[in-house]
Structure 1
């Protein structure tokens, strides 16, 4: 499918990707300024009710030139500075320019230089033999980068991440994984007995271990259905109110599920997903010899682990500190990321996010003097670090940890969540005593 593009001269591929990156930047800006909770009139794609705007410093009507990528913001910078501020145009212009540069640069890193492979395998012959695989990875990561850009800046502005970004993004990831599991990160399979070393995508199984046959039987189907159903349920309007007893709590809970008209769309999505998952499972041998089922199950595992890690910490931290620690948008964001990169890479991204947070907080504070930064940008930055330094992260540390923990990985994660809750609770008591 990607072969005609791979066969183009490299300079032509760079130009195409630069134009696609520019288009992705325009799309990201459109989403940032129109899909947010409080749409801002800065967007040239939004029809504005001028009567509701303040009388002073009203912006002029949008012109056709305002929608020209890059240059549209420069044109408006002279015209609408009095309405939006002197530097309003810098961020959207840098988003478009940044993605225009980032997409070809990341292609060079991933598909030409083989940056995700061990250094000893980055020779031209090996990279060329893996061109199809690396281009699939790149395609998935480029889409993810655009989605994360939109989510990051909406989170900066409003401390929320719209489901309009994360739900379609997750569905795109599941669809791509079903088409090809080669969108997931590479793992080196050492050669033995004269057989050369090779690479394969890291799927739902633990590293260096063959997939258990149960995942290709009814256990795999039930697990996939449970993950899909749990995700759809998590997206519903859930609220437990215990003030009037358990009977009323159940009544209020069920009423809340159908409180908003969107429950019908969510129900339809759940049913369509059940049919699609069951269809791929029943035809798993006919569809590319089980490859489609492997990709779909890997993406669902990534969705489950990525979302569950943040959700569990959100629950534990909120209960320990008595205030909401993270928004649920962070949960759906990490679920989307996990669906794109798999559960192993989503774990790495989560634990790298605090490192990225240091740089983000410093930059944010230098620009706005605001020390509080939402958690979503940390997760996105941790994901980018995972993509860029995958071989060092995986081969240098993550692989050995996962193999050592093995089947006890789940219990280890639960114990760490419990320990985190205890630490936060004790820290809350210390702060309370100190301030009193």
Structure 2
């Protein structure tokens, strides 16, 4: 099975690399940044193809062979498994695109997230069996009731599958956008500057439309952990002036997707309890704000650099990108291009 995924990833990666070259060229022109060199484009394209091939092959094996996404409540048909795999592969491709352009331009364009969100909603509604969890499953019953009847699942989920799927996808979209926007506003006020771009909000909205609200909450919870493990070492080693957060949201979403079966078995009781959900969301918000605070403290530390000319050029590129994005927001009054 995984060979089919690898072949699809190879083709998808090549097409994705071509699209990203055009998209990045357009965004860098709009931001008045220098164009990338031919060597940079070749390396970037090669990495996109390799990563796409590996992830497509691994996800195909995980979903169809190892059944890592299976849960006792959601049992799709064999045909629906293939449809759900394709659905998730589209999400993985979009996350790769968002990560690459975020690392290059410090922003995530709506050209990736808005069509992705619409596709997530419409495909879920059309198929009716693409969800990895139901909209609501009550595991908070007493042990005797659970042993006799299992968790409570509303009957209309099965009677109106298209409506359940649409509601599940919309709930995920709202949860992703709402949580990220809330933390974006709070952290910006605490830090005295915009800590996250609106592109992070639309990215999480897209993730939610594909994975539902439960997986989106877990993604939001895990992203700061990936940031603490990977971003801070990168800050000290590479002296990056800004921390693009989108790649860590994307990485967390892929991790949740691969480990969904195990994660759901460990957290399904929490998702049946509103107090547990509040605690879980609070932990995620505090972890993210803590990460952003550490990054700001790091930026305030004076560092002697061995190659000042190159570092200054790099910082100027990032500052120019930020100023260009802010200028475009003021001129247009829209969030068509969002700063990371």
Alignment match, 2:271? 402
Retained in 2: the 8 A contact 1:307–1:334? Answer: yes
> Runs of 5+ in structure 1 lacking a partner?
1-9, 42-52, 55-82, 122-126, 186-201, 217-283
TM-score, length of structure 1 as denominator length: 0.56
Question: Which residue pairs with 2:113 in the alignment?
Answer: 166
2:66 matched residue in structure 1? 113
Please report the TM-score for the alignment, with normalisation by the length of structure 2: 0.70
| Shift of residue 342, structure 1, vs aligned partner | 0.3
- Name the Cα RMSD after superposition: 3.9
Segments of structure 2 that go 5 or more residues without pairing to the other structure are: 140-150, 303-340
> Quick one: which of 375, 387, 391 aligns to 2:257?
387
Displacement of 1:108: 1.4
Q: 2:128 aligned with 1:181, yes or no?
A: yes
| Alpha-carbon shift at residue 321 of structure 1 (Å) | 1.6
The number of aligned residues is: 282
Match of 1:91 among 44, 55, 59: 44
Q: Verify the 8 A CA contact 1:25 1:96 in the aligned structure 2.
A: yes
Moved over 6 A (4+): 413-428
Which residue does the alignment assign to 2:210? 340
| Partners of 2:13 and 2:53 within 8 A in 1 | yes
Q: Is the 8 A contact 1:29 1:92 kept in 2?
A: yes
Q: Aligned residue for 2:178?
A: 308
Partner of 1:294: 164
User: How far off its partner does 1:162 sit?
Assistant: 0.6
Q: How far is 1:171 from its partner?
A: 0.7
Distance in 1, Cα, partners of 2:43 & 2:98: 18
Instruction: Check 1:27–1:207 CA distance in 2 against 1; reply closer, same or farther (3 A cut).
Output: farther
Using the alignment, how far apart are the partners of 1:384 and 1:150 within structure 2?
13
Among 77, 81, 87, the residue aligned to 1:140 = 87
- Structure 2 counterpart of 1:32: 20
Give, in angstroms, the shift of residue 338 of structure 1. Answer: 0.4
The alignment partner of 2:68 has SS state of coil
Bigger Rg, which one? 1
Task: Determine which structure has greater relative contact order: mean sequence separation of CA pairs < 8 Å that are 6+ residues apart, divided by chain length.
Answer: 2
Q: Does 1:131 align with 2:54?
A: no
Q: How does 1:8-407 map to 2 (within 5 A)?
A: 10=1, 14-15=3-4, 17-36=5-24, 38-39=26-27, 84=37, 88-117=41-70, 131-185=78-132, 202-208=133-139, 210=152, 289-361=159-231, 364=234, 368-370=238-240, 372-396=242-266, 398-403=267-272, 405-406=273-274
Native 8 Å contact 1:181 1:203 kept in 2? no
Q: Quote the Cα distance in structure 2 between the aligned partners of 1:22 and 1:205.
A: 37
How far off is 1:412 after superposition?
5.1
Return the alpha-carbon distance in structure 2 between the equivalents of residues 27 and 33 of structure 1.
Answer: 10
Q: CA deviation at 1:138?
A: 1.3
